[in-house]
């Protein structure tokens, strides 16, 4: 907690980026602006920012919540005598420079990753013990809203929360069920009061990959010049369906689309001021593009599609993308009504040391930031949980496997923050791995 507090004072009022601007403007303008974030994230920021106009207030709350969730898990490790797991989790995750950085941004990704690991840990513990204590129930109350509703893809974490009810004793089962029901009712009411539209997953991937399929290929151009090199029917099939070409051609010239393609980001197609802004296609045309993609374009370009998926995933896993600069907050604050003072405490020496540490960590991000440990533990949990029918392990592993598959198949940006939950996942799975030789949980059928 002292580390997080010192960090916030050094980088006051926190790290702010474009997603920070959008949510602050949504709070300030009410119904006149939509950030594309979830309704829960809107109400969280509104609760702590609207009355104060100070960005550091929600930022401090986020850091306190992360510290609380981490402290709960680390304290359990220590009480169970898992000293090695304690050290690994503390050093490699909880106080990792980039982890503190992401927790100190007004983005939902940091708290989402921490809450996911905290929620899955509590559910694993409850399923293993067949009951849920007061401390665990309180932590579920803290983590469930952030894990399930801070990001659109978090809704999958309601499934393990409900699945745990099957193995709990009657008294604690009703307590947890009441908690889950209360959270869901609150979210439903929030949607009625402030409807929000988050970015859908399928259309962005479809248009991103479709434009990639349209890129000129040197070998194809050679074959066009020397058609006798192939049998006629080999070159007769276009890479992209005529309906797709005609639809996109009505909206933007092919050269305009190709000028704003990036192998790891769809952002240029959407957010660049002079770009094609493909998000503006009418809904009917978007549906046509999706239909043509799954009917024709995907199967004609399957190697390109898989290669693109691997590229985007590895760009995220190896943290090859960009991150908001520590000084970008000045630009953000000037665009809002915030009354926060940039670097109010003027801790320049402390700031320089944190920046130096972050810079050194970034140089080794391919090793220190990557989610490989979490992915290895996930593979182990899936294998062991399936082979032994261990519900506690499957409760953790299955929703994370669904998340991983969705990120691989649908992600349109090589953003490291999308894989941050797998960086924090060891906090939920290390105790299961460390205690794998202890008395096993009863199988599902027991």
Domain ranges of the chain: 2-197+323-368
Segments of 316-422 assigned E as strands: none
Q: What is 211-237 written as a DSSP string?
A: HHHTS--HHHHHHHH-GGGS-HHHHHS
- SS3 category, 262: strand
pLDDT of residue 337: 93
pLDDT of 231 over the 60 cut: yes
pLDDT of residue 389: 92
The structure tokens listed for 107 are: 């983005």
pTM: 0.93
The pLDDT of 289-318, averaged and rounded, is: 96
Q: Tell me, what DSSP letter sits at residue 442?
A: P
C-alpha 3: how far from its chain's center? 24
The pLDDT of 192-215, averaged and rounded, is: 89
pLDDT of residue 201: 85
Of 39-53, 183-197, 410-424, which gets the smallest average pLDDT? Answer: 183-197
Q: Each residue of 26-43: pLDDT tens digit?
A: 999 876 777 788 999 999
User: Which residues, other chains included, contact 112 with Cβ-Cβ below 8 Å and sequence gap of 6+?
Assistant: 146, 147, 150, 151, 154, 420, 421
pLDDT of residue 228: 75
pLDDT of 127 over the 60 cut: yes
Q: Tell me, what DSSP letter sits at residue 443?
A: P
Place of tokens 């070998």: 219
The pLDDT of 249-259, averaged and rounded, is: 90
Q: Are 11 and 102 in contact (CB under 8 A)?
A: no
- Name all contacts of 231-238 with Cβ < 8 Å and 24+ positions apart: 237/300, 238/300
Place of tokens 């969705």: 406
pLDDT of residue 443: 40
pLDDT of residue 31: 67
- SS3 category, 105: strand
pLDDT of residue 445: 36
What is the number of other CB atoms lying within 10 angstroms of the CB of residue 61? 16
State what percent of residues in the chain have pLDDT above 70: 97
Specify which of 111-125, 266-280, 335-349 reaches the highest per-range mean pLDDT.
111-125
When the pLDDT of each residue in the chain is averaged and rounded to a whole number, the result is 91
CA pair distance 419, 144, nearest whole angstrom? 19
Nearest of 130, 161, 203 to residue 398 by alpha carbon = 161
pLDDT of residue 36: 82
- Given CA atoms 377, 318, 35, 102 in this order, what sign does their dihedral have? positive
pLDDT of 331 over the 70 cut: yes
pLDDT of residue 234: 67
The structure tokens listed for 216 are: 């000129």
Place of tokens 């197609």: 269
Angle between helices 426-434 and 391-410 (to 10 degrees): 140
CA pair distance 367, 421, nearest whole angstrom? 16
pLDDT of residue 440: 47
Nearest of 353, 281, 320 to residue 97 by alpha carbon = 353
State what percent of residues in the chain have pLDDT above 90: 79
Nearest-5° Cα angle at 155, 149 to 156: 145
Place of tokens 């540490």: 357
With b for 16 or more beta-carbon neighbours within 10 A and e for fewer, the 343-357 pattern comes to beeebeeebeebeee
With b for 16 or more beta-carbon neighbours within 10 A and e for fewer, the 283-300 pattern comes to eeebebbbebbeebbbee
pLDDT of residue 272: 87
Q: Each residue of 7-33: pLDDT tens digit?
A: 999 999 999 998 999 999 999 987 677
Q: What is 149-201 written as a DSSP string?
A: HSSGGGGGGHHHHHHHTTTS-HHHHHHHHHHHHHHHHHHHHHHHHS---PPPS
The pLDDT of 419-432, averaged and rounded, is: 97
């Amino acid at each position: 907690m002292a580390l997080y507090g010192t960090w916030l004072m050094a980088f006051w009022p926190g790290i702010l980026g474009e997603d920070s601007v959008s949510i602050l403007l949504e709070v300030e303008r009410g119904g006149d602006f939509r950030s594309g974030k979830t309704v829960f994230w809107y109400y969280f920021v509104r609760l702590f920012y609207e009355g104060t106009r100070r960005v550091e207030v929600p930022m401090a709350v986020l850091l306190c919540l992360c510290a609380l969730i981490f402290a709960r898990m680390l304290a359990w490790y220590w009480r169970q005598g898992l000293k090695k797991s304690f050290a690994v989790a503390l050093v490699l995750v909880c106080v990792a420079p980039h982890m503190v950085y992401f927790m100190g941004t007004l983005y939902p990704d940091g708290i989402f990753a921490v809450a996911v690991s905290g929620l899955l840990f509590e559910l694993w513990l409850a399923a293993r013990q067949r009951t849920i204590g007061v401390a665990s129930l309180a932590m579920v109350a803290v983590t469930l809203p952030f894990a399930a509703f801070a990001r659109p893809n978090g809704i999958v974490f309601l499934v393990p929360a409900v699945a745990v009810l099957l193995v709990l004793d009657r008294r604690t089962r009703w307590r947890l069920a009441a908690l889950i029901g209360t959270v869901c009712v609150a979210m439903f009411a929030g949607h009625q009061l402030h409807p929000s539209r988050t970015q859908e997953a399928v259309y962005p991937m479809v248009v991103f990959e479709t434009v990639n399929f349209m890129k000129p290929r040197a070998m194809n151009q050679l074959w066009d010049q020397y058609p006798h090199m192939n049998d006629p029917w080999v070159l007769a099939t276009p890479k992209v369906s005529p309906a797709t070409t005609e639809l996109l051609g009505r909206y933007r010239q092919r050269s305009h689309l190709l000028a704003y393609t990036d192998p790891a980001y769809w952002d240029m197609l959407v957010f660049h001021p002079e770009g094609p802004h493909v998000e503006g296609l009418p809904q009917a045309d978007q549906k046509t593009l999706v239909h043509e993609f799954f009917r024709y374009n995907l199967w004609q370009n399957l190697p390109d599609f898989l290669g693109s998926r691997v590229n985007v995933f590895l760009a995220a896993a190896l943290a090859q993308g960009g991150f908001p600069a520590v000084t970008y907050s000045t630009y953000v604050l000037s665009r809002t009504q915030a009354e926060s003072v940039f670097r109010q405490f003027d801790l320049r020496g402390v700031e320089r040391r944190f920046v130096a540490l972050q810079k050194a960590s970034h140089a080794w991000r391919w090793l220190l930031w990557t989610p490989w440990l979490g992915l290895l533990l996930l593979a182990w949990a899936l294998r062991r949980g399936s082979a032994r029918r261990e519900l506690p392990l499957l409760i953790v592993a299955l929703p994370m496997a669904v998340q991983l598959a969705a990120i691989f198949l649908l992600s349109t940006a090589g953003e490291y923050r999308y894989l941050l939950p797998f960086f924090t996942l060891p906090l939920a799975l290390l105790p299961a791995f460390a205690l794998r030789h202890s008395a096993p949980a009863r199988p599902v059928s027991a």
